[in-house]
Amino acid sequence: MVLLSPSVGGLRMLIEKCESYALNHSLKYNVLKSEYMVFRAGNKCPSHIPPILLNGEQLQRVFKFKYLGHLVTDDLRDDADMERERRALAIRANMIARRFSRCTALVKIALFRAYCTSLYACSLWTRYTQKAFNALRVQYNDAFRVLLRLPRYCSASGMFADAHVDGFHATLRKRCAATLSRVSGSRHSLLAVVADVVEIKASNMLLR
C-alpha cells in the first residue's frame, strides 16, 4: 500500500487513519517493511525531515523503492529502472541462448518475442539520460545477435527486418501506444484525468 501526501503533517494524518483501521480490524502493519520517501522538486529538497512514526516506531527513509516491479527514485528519474530492465533483459537473453542453442532460428525468434520484447514498465519512462537509453538499446540488439549467433557489428535494423521482428524503437512505441489505449478506455476517474492531459498535449503538438 502506498500513501501520498504533499506534507509531513498530511502523511502523519494518513498513517493515523491506517493505524486506527488496523486496530479496529485486529491487524498490524510491519514497521520493518514500511519505508518513506521524500520526492525532490528539481534540485530542492528539505534539509530536515521530522520523524515519521508507525505504531510508535520511526520509519526508515529511502531514496529508491521498487513498487510493483518498477523502481521509483526520489528525483523521479527513470535511469535506475532502465538499468534494472537492461540487466533483466541480459539475464533472460543469456538463459534462452544457453538452453535453446540447438533450436531453429524460427524457435529462437519466437522465444525472443516472448521473453525479450516486454520491456516491463517502459511506457512509464519519461525522464532519463541518453546514456541509460542507449545502454538498454544496445542490450536489446545484442540479445538478438547472441540468440541467433549473428556477427557482433551487423546492422541492427537489417537483422530485425530480415527476421520480421520489431526493433528497439518500434517495441517502445507499441508498448507506449498500448498503455495509452488502456488508459483512455478506462472508467477510473484518475486515469480519465491522465488520458485528458495526454490528449491535450497531443493536440498541441499537432497544432504546432
Report the number of distinct structural domains present in the chain: 2
SS3 readout for 119-153: CCCHHHCCCCCHHHHHHHHHHHHHHHHHHHCCCCC
Q: Tell me whether residue 141 is in a domain.
A: yes
Residues 93 and 27 grouped into a single domain: no
Say how far apart CA 134 and CA 82 lie, in whole Å.
10
pLDDT tens by residue, 67-121: 999 999 999 999 999 999 999 999 999 999 999 999 999 999 999 999 999 999 8
Q: Tell me whether residue 121 is in a domain.
A: yes
Specify the 3-state DSSP secondary structure of 65. Answer: strand
Residues 49 and 108 grouped into a single domain: no
The pTM is what? 0.83
Report the pLDDT averaged over residues 161-171: 95
Q: Tell me whether residue 69 is in a domain.
A: no
Q: Tell me whether residue 154 is in a domain.
A: yes
Q: Tell me whether residue 184 is in a domain.
A: no
Q: Are residues 59 and 15 in contact, defined by beta-carbon separation less than 8 angstroms?
A: no
Specify the 3-state DSSP secondary structure of 164. Answer: coil
Residues in Cβ contact with 49 at an 8 Å cutoff, skipping those fewer than 6 apart: 8, 38, 61
pLDDT tens by residue, 167-178: 999 999 999 888
Query: Whole domain around residue 97: which residue ranges?
Result: 79-167
Residues 88 and 46 grouped into a single domain: no
